[in-house]
Structure 1
Amino acid sequence: MTVDLQNVGVTLGGRAALAGITARLAEPRVAIVGRNGSGKTTLARVVAGLIAPDTGQARIGGIDMARDRRAALENVGIIFQNPDHQIIFPTVLEEVAFGLAQQGKRPREAEAAARAMLDRFGKAHWERAATHSLSQGQKQLLCLMAVLAMRPRVVVMDEPFSGLDIPTRLQLMRYLQKITAQVVMITHDPGHLRGFDRVLWLEGGRLIADGPPDRVLPDFEARMLDWGGSDDLAHLAC
């Protein structure tokens, strides 16, 4: 599966959130890094088909995700930074089964597939658990299971480890290593990108570097350290 971005531009609130983003992403693990306000989340939503670009196109497997919502549901899943913005049902089973029902599965079929996903992750005992009672890390895992149950070809993750403690983060990263779908991860922390194949660096809505992690990340980290050590807070503005 290939994510094909062609001259993608998005304007939000009269400001260019993205400008001229062109990249063909075929690697299994792709990261998009940048500071807050650099356009990472906007690009994640474009890839997932949640935002239609004002200019250019975002295609997955040759299909325009913003114009074909059914294809978007079948091909791409997105995990947001805050799972409370994603979880909508009172029990774990209902949450995992919902996306399957959206894909056209009958209720019993959707529930059976949801149970199989919970079992795959060793969480069959979560079935009747109240979603509001889960910890933040457990909620992120629930979102991951709900997305994977729909068998997407691409999983977009927008800062999935934000606010998690180190043990929970490491546990979720181990789960991610088992995903066979292409992963496009949005992050500002290079420490989350062990084993990734490619890194895109956004700054001010523009793509300023694109390549292997060992080539892009040292420059990115050096720039962040340089700006962090400066007395000029203008560099820290979103």
Structure 2
Amino acid sequence: MNHVALCGAGVSVETADGNLRTILKPTTVELTEQRIAVIGANGSGKSTLLRLLNSLMLPSSGTVTINGLDTRTQGRAVRRQVGFVFTDPLSQLVMPTPLEDIELSLRRVHKSAPERRSAAAGVLEQYGLGALAANSIYELSGGERQLVALATVLAVQPRLLVLDEPSTLLDLRNSRLLRSRLAALPQQLIMATHDLELAQDCTRALVVDDGAIVFDGPAADAVARYRRMYS
């Protein structure tokens, strides 16, 4: 079981006029459940919270630790344990084809190019994407790109998977396919989402509003609280 802990972790950024603006208030929370959703309106601070979990952002105050590793001083070790999937897969997929992208992810694991290519092909087959191996990333549908981005992150077998709005660009069919893929994963999963059905697949959910966690509990209760906030 992973131990994810924020202890007084807050984030402030400098504005154009030189003042500080708080985008995440000092937050103390432990995240140990297998499936955790983070829900809230745009600009509420939920993406900031997620980006703290793999050193994409560093706290301005307090600490964030992943299995005892401090994100501020041990960022490289943290990123080996935490896989991050972005909202837009095109911001994550940097090579021309899915096969090449996964090969890039595996460069530390397999030093030999033939071994790396074979392993990458195996990853694509494992996630039902083998037929897309040589396709251009730009020829794939939004759902296919998101699944390739997920496979690229999972190729290195992270202990924790963090997803920022993974279903935002997907139609209903691909959203359902993504839900089934995520449900089958052994990794701990923490995700920000506007998809309340996807949120309710989780055990626990945090509701974030104005840079603070305003509710933390069972996912169904969190979704009900969120609906009441904006009804």
Answer whether TM exceeds 0.5 for this pair.
yes
How far is the alpha carbon of 1:163 from its aligned partner?
Answer: 2.4
Which residue number in structure 1 is paired with residue 6 of structure 2?
5
* Aligned residue among 100, 110, 114 for 1:105: 110
Task: Tell me the distance in 1 between the aligned counterparts of 2:118 and 2:79.
Answer: 19
How far is the alpha carbon of 1:213 from its aligned partner?
Answer: 1.4
The residue type equivalent to 1:129 in the other structure is N
Which residue number in structure 2 is paired with residue 56 of structure 1?
62
Which residue number in structure 1 is paired with residue 144 of structure 2?
138
Residue-by-residue CA offset, 1:119-156 (whole Å, 9 max, x unaligned): 11122222211111111111000000000001001111
Contact 1:93-1:115 within 8 A present in 2 as well:
yes
Stretches of structure 2 that go unaligned for 5 or more consecutive residues are none
Spell out the pairing of 1:29-178 with structure 2 (5 A cutoff).
Answer: 29-101=35-107, 103-106=108-111, 107-178=113-184
Contact 1:50-1:66 within 8 A present in 2 as well:
no
How far is the alpha carbon of 1:69 from its aligned partner?
Answer: 3.1
Contact 2:129-2:148 within 8 A present in 1 as well:
no
How far is the alpha carbon of 1:190 from its aligned partner?
Answer: 1.6
Task: Tell me the distance in 2 between the aligned counterparts of 1:172 and 1:86.
Answer: 17
Residue 58 to residue 215, structure 1, CA distance change in 2 (3 Å):
same
Which residue number in structure 2 is paired with residue 24 of structure 1?
30
DSSP-derived class of the 1:193 partner: helix
Which residue number in structure 2 is paired with residue 206 of structure 1?
212
Task: Tell me the distance in 2 between the aligned counterparts of 1:132 and 1:174.
Answer: 24
TM-score under structure 2 length normalisation:
0.92
How far is the alpha carbon of 1:96 from its aligned partner?
Answer: 1.1
Residue 157 to residue 151, structure 1, CA distance change in 2 (3 Å):
same
The residue type equivalent to 1:140 in the other structure is Q
Over the residues paired in the alignment, what is the CA RMSD in angstroms? 1.4
Contact 1:8-1:55 within 8 A present in 2 as well:
yes
Task: Tell me the distance in 2 between the aligned counterparts of 1:61 and 1:49.
Answer: 14
Residue-by-residue CA offset, 1:136-183 (whole Å, 9 max, x unaligned): 111000000000001001111000100211111101111111111010
Stretches of structure 1 that go unaligned for 5 or more consecutive residues are 226-238
Which residue number in structure 2 is paired with residue 219 of structure 1?
225
Task: Tell me the distance in 2 between the aligned counterparts of 1:19 and 1:141.
Answer: 33
Task: Tell me the distance in 2 between the aligned counterparts of 1:105 and 1:29.
Answer: 30
How far is the alpha carbon of 1:53 from its aligned partner?
Answer: 0.6
Residue 18 to residue 71, structure 1, CA distance change in 2 (3 Å):
same
How far is the alpha carbon of 1:104 from its aligned partner?
Answer: 4.8
DSSP-derived class of the 1:114 partner: helix
Larger mean Cα displacement after TM superposition, 118-127 or 152-161: 118-127
Task: Tell me the distance in 2 between the aligned counterparts of 1:191 and 1:66.
Answer: 34
Contact 1:51-1:66 within 8 A present in 2 as well:
no
Contact 2:200-2:220 within 8 A present in 1 as well:
no
The residue type equivalent to 2:60 in the other structure is D
